[in-house]
């Protein structure tokens, strides 16, 4: 019998597959990065004091999509694969851009252009914010002139939000794991099973990478990893959260990703007001402020974890009370 709704063992399998694959593969990627010189070099803005390999996106990509592929091949699930295929293709593009940036460096304008292209790809595979809901008239469909720019803004915005918050050991990977775990329950409750599988694989891979990325880190995400995490979070939020007719569907993903989103909004406003490029790096993010306030790296990261967890709990309460 072909099934649409996965059983619990399938969810456990995809989570632990992604976790184990990432744990096993990351040391190999670390050696490869050191061999080709893909290392993050300390400077006055950065916290670390030694060269650290930074191609984490490779092991994360392998962990997420190998686990997802194995589960889809060896199970009898009948899911709508169009959106998953679009996210897979877009993720390949984002990963490639991130790897090139880790090796050679890219300007913010060029990275932004490639991110828009990746977002366009998933849009045309059906990953779109196509409607909103309200308590009075039910579902209100959005036309392409609203849906397309709104979708692109969300995907590119969240992709860069995770990238910009990646400033301390384990911060972006941990925030991703917390956010992905929350989105899994939201997607599950709204019957978006394909999105639930993908987002749980992302949670497993992010946790697996934390083994090497938490303070003191021996491996960094690099742009290949942070952009990939943000891209998958953004696209699965659309398929797993925005697709629900819940009245507060627009609020839930913003709550879940509240810390990186608001940190990015303040960063962009701060840079624009001073005449800088909105994606130009600086040392005034929330984690920098915590360090200047006297927090250790570990304390700063754990404090942001707690904030993300509390916001995620708030989102889940809203889902349960619908």
Consecutive 10-residue averages of pLDDT for the chain (322 residues)? 69 96 97 90 60 92 96 82 94 97 90 96 91 60 83 94 88 94 88 91 97 92 95 91 56 78 76 67 70 83 91 84 66
What length does the chain have?
322
- Predicted local confidence at residue 291, as pLDDT: 76
- Predicted local confidence at residue 232, as pLDDT: 97
Q: 93-104: string of b/e by CB count within 10 Å (b at 16+)?
A: bbbebbbbbbbe
- Predicted local confidence at residue 2, as pLDDT: 42
In the chain, where the domains are located: 8-320
The backbone torsions φ and ψ at residue 131, rounded to the nearest 5 degrees and listed phi first, read -155, 165
- Predicted local confidence at residue 1, as pLDDT: 32
- Tokens coding 151: 């979708």
Q: pTM, whole model, 2 decimals?
A: 0.90
Q: CB of 55 within 8 A of CB of 29? A: yes
């Amino acid at each position: 019998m072909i099934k649409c709704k996965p059983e619990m063992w399938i969810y456990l399998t995809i989570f632990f597959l992604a976790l184990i694959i990432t744990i096993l593969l990351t040391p190999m990627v670390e050696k490869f990065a050191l061999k080709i010189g893909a290392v993050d070099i300390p400077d006055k803005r950065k916290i670390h004091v030694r060269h650290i390999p930074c191609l984490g996106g490779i092991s994360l990509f392998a962990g997420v999509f190998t686990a997802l592929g194995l589960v889809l091949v060896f199970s009898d699930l009948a899911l709508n694969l169009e959106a998953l295929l679009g996210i897979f293709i877009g993720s390949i593009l984002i990963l490639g851009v991130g790897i090139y940036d880790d090796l050679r460096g890219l300007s913010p304008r060029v990275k932004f252009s490639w991110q828009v292209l990746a977002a366009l790809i998933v849009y045309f595979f059906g990953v779109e914010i196509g409607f909103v809901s309200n308590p009075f008239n039910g579902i209100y469909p959005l036309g392409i002139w609203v849906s397309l720019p709104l979708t692109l803004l969300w995907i590119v915005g969240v992709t860069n939000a995770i990238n910009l918050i990646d400033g301390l050991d384990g911060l972006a990977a941990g925030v991703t794991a917390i956010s992905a775990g929350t989105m899994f329950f939201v997607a599950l409750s709204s019957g978006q099973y394909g999105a639930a599988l993908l987002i749980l694989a992302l949670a497993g891979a992010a946790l697996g990478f934390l083994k090497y990325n938490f303070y003191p880190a021996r491996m960094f995400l690099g742009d290949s990893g942070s952009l990939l995490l943000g891209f998958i979070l953004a696209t699965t939020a659309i398929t797993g959260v925005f697709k629900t007719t819940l009245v507060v569907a627009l609020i839930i993903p913003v709550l879940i990703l509240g810390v990186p989103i608001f940190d990015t909004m303040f960063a962009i406003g701060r840079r624009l007001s001073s005449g800088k490029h909105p994606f130009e790096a600086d040392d005034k993010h929330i984690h920098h402020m915590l360090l200047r306030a006297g927090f250790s790296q570990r304390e700063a990261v754990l404090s942001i974890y707690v904030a993300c967890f509390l916001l995620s709990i708030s989102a889940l309460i809203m889902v349960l009370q619908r």
